Amino acid sequence: SCIVIQEIYIDGLVAKDGRLRPGDQILEVNGEELTQATHCQAKRALPCTGERTEDPNRPEEQLKVTLNKRVGKTLGIKLVGKKTCPGLFILGLVVGGLAEIDGRLRRDDRILEINDQDIRNGTQAEAAAIIQAAEDKVTFLVSRRTRPQTPDLIQAASSDSLSDLCRGQLPPPALASGYAGFASCAPPLGRRLTPAPAPMDPMDDESDYQGRVVRGDIPVYVTNLQPDGLAARSRQVRKGDVLLAVNDIPLLGLSHEEAVRLLKAQEGPVAVRLLPGSESSSGGGNFMPSWVYWLSLPPVCYLERNVDLARDPCTGSLGFSIVGGADSLAGPQPIIVKSVVYGGPAHEDGRLRCGDMITRVNGDCRLAGFTHGQAVALLKSLRCDTVLLTVVSWPGTIV
């Protein structure tokens, strides 16, 4: 799918800079392609600091662009040099200039020649002199770095096949074993932990267990273990494990405070039903799950909510785009809200967020097993003014 900004911390450098926004797709970092990167690869790339570098093996294409000079109009091209490689690059195009109107030149194009004069190692002054000396037209030979094609957001699918898939008459695409958590609603077996009779450990409400929070509806999970407590001594509980039940009392759907009260209220032997977490941590600090951790949870852990959106009366749009699907390049993925269009129905409604997982449409059509194209076509083909979406919001989803 793609690497998308889920949240921007208010006191961070990105927020202070002000140019990046939630929902933006990150294509590259310091010249390193992220269009096909995994979440872990992107995490390794983002903390990198230091001078920007260029990848010499990245594919390039060359093209010629001829602009005809016009009285009263400038070419409108801003050229700059880079510390990391020789030559001149397009920093930007002036709005209303000849280059911007023509539309073929782009930001970061490298200028190789101007009117057949090689300026691969040229300066801004040399480029300006060649342009000014030209009488009626200026021809640029530019080099452009290319990147793999990102998946098309709109793919064809017939409404008949979508209706059959919703009714269960067509089998969904084969799912990889790692995707079973998204396709099946059968509760996991988990494991049971029964320590010897002893008083319950006192729990720190801020660090031991976490439950439902404002930023996303989440199950109760272990953030830390007291070194001398029963759970740590049993060696059967890890940071990151999800607590499904205690003494057969379900914990799913409870808030953090409700779960803590219930755990403290248990007397005698305590049987805890656990779901092993896909991530964990060591040391004394609290475990902090990533967004991928939440995506790996099975449907039994979902706390769904409904969002009903009215289509734009003029365009019919719902005002958001999606990524994911059973045909994703990184393997089968759930359908995720990629971006919310500013001013559109979803934005005006305010309940749908970047990063939300869409599990059902109009109540009875489950999206488990849908390809990206099938999900897009389904949302477009529904003959109704209001569409009901069932979604799951995880921490990192924008509020």
Tokens for 285, please give them. Answer: 């600090």
**Helix/strand/coil for 146:** coil
pTM strictly above 0.75: no
Mean pLDDT calculated for residue range 82-89: 75
Yes or no: say if 119 and 126 are a contact pair by the CB < 8 Å rule: yes
- Predicted pLDDT at 130: 92
Q: Say whether pLDDT at 232 is over 90.
A: no
- Predicted pLDDT at 288: 79
Least confident of 144-158, 186-200, 274-288, 309-323: 186-200
- pLDDT, tens digit (0-9, with 9 covering 90-100), for 238-251: 898 988 888 889 88
Q: What rounded mean pLDDT belongs to the chain?
A: 75
DSSP codes joined into one string, 196-256: PS-PPPP--TTTSEE-BBTTB----EE----TTSHHHHHT---TT-EEEEETTEE-TT-BH
All structural domains of the chain = 1-56 (2.30.42.10), 60-145 (2.30.42.10), 159-182+298-392 (2.30.42.10), 188-288 (2.30.42.10)
Least confident of 71-75, 329-333, 342-346: 329-333
Least confident of 147-156, 274-283, 294-303: 147-156
- Predicted pLDDT at 64: 93
pLDDT band at 165 (very low <50, low <70, confident <90, very high): very low
Q: Say whether pLDDT at 394 is over 60.
A: yes
